[in-house]
Amino acid sequence: MKQHFFIAGTDAGVGKTYVLASLLRSLHEEGVKAVGFKPVACGDRAEARMMREAIGEPTLSLESINPVYLRTSTDPQMAASLERKEIDVDTLYASWATLAEQYDVVLTEGCYGWLTPLAPGVTMADLAKKLNLPVLLVADNRKGAAGQVALTAAAIAQSGLTCAGIILNHPGEEWDTAAVTNADLIERTTGLPVLASLIHGDEVATEVLTR
């Protein structure tokens, strides 16, 4: 398998890193040379560390996985402004390209939502367009998810990219009515496949990357 993906979320805290790390573990178990890429992190590097741990390469530098680290826990554009730094899409692309030369699968995680500001006039969508990868969209499987998925999927299409499918992540330990019915509603209203519906502790099978 040699295919890279961009993993986007409908919002912050929906489980993008959880899904990405689970996919990395599954790929690693199958003998696929895969790595995660977190182009921009704000507040801490816990997500980059989780990606590195998932593939069992403790010597891999955090800088290669996460080239832009901002200590301020807020949106990237504001964090960069407060720290007097600049986020450049071309530089992020170059870091991704280096990993893509070394690994068969690079899973890139967006920061917060699809249109998260990176710099004046530049959003996370601009980086996704530069990478030109199929998009996996992660959403919190709760009440209101269908509307959030529809909005984000429309924005992805407007960016000229393909949304390969939706992964619903339910962090709780029990399904509620929304969690049970969202997948069907989302498929009927967006025409996109729901590739997985996860509940607390579930792992993601690599088949979601080939469907």
Q: What is the total count of domains within the chain? A: 1
Active site residue 2: no
Asked if the model's pLDDT at residue 211 lies above 80, the reply is no
What is the residue-averaged pLDDT of the chain?
A: 94
Asked if the model's pLDDT at residue 146 lies above 90, the reply is yes
- Of 2, 16, 33, 38, catalytic: 38
CATH number for the domain spanning 80: value is: 3.40.50.300
H helix or E strand, kind and range, residue 176? none
| pLDDT per position as a tens digit, 33-61 | 999 999 999 999 999 999 999 999 999 99
H helix or E strand, kind and range, residue 130? helix 124-131
| pLDDT per position as a tens digit, 149-181 | 999 999 999 999 999 999 999 877 778 898 899
Q: Residue 12: how many CB atoms within 10 A of its CB?
A: 12
The boundaries of the domain holding residue 168 are 5-209
Q: What is the DSSP letter of 140?
A: E
| pLDDT per position as a tens digit, 91-114 | 999 999 999 999 999 999 999 999
